[in-house]
Amino acid sequence: MKNMIYNSKEGDLELSKITRLYPAVIVDMHGEVAEMSLEWTEIYGDKVKLVSYILVFDFTQPSEDVKNRTVLEFETKEELITTMQEVAQFF
């Protein structure tokens, strides 16, 4: 079986246990900080302040109530895309 450990700046992530993996952005809308999709940002990005790009590794099982997530944060979209490409090599 292929090694499914991604060595991130937040520690080793066991990719075989991921339930969801998705990119997003953190935006500041008049003092309210929120996580939004990249697509949303392309449409409404000029109306908010972009704080950072993120890649969310969600390990929460459907039966669990408590979120089990690791979030990697990036300053640029290019850094996000590079990490997404690195992770994609495992699948």
User: What does 20-31 look like in DSSP terms, one character per residue?
Assistant: EEEEEEEEEETT
Burial of 12 (0-12, 13-18, 19+ CB in 10 A): exposed
- Please, are residues 74 and 80 in contact by the beta-carbon 8 Å criterion? yes
Reported as a single tens digit per residue, the pLDDT across 38-80 is: 999 889 888 889 999 999 999 999 899 999 999 999 999 999 9
Selection from 55, 57, 64 nearest residue 84 by Cα: 55
Q: Quick one: how far is CA 65 from the chain centroid?
A: 20
> What pLDDT is attached to residue 2?
64
> What pLDDT is attached to residue 44?
85
What average pLDDT does the structure give for the chain? 92
> What pLDDT is attached to residue 56?
97
30 pLDDT band (50/70/90 cuts)? Answer: confident
> What pLDDT is attached to residue 39?
93
> What pLDDT is attached to residue 47?
85
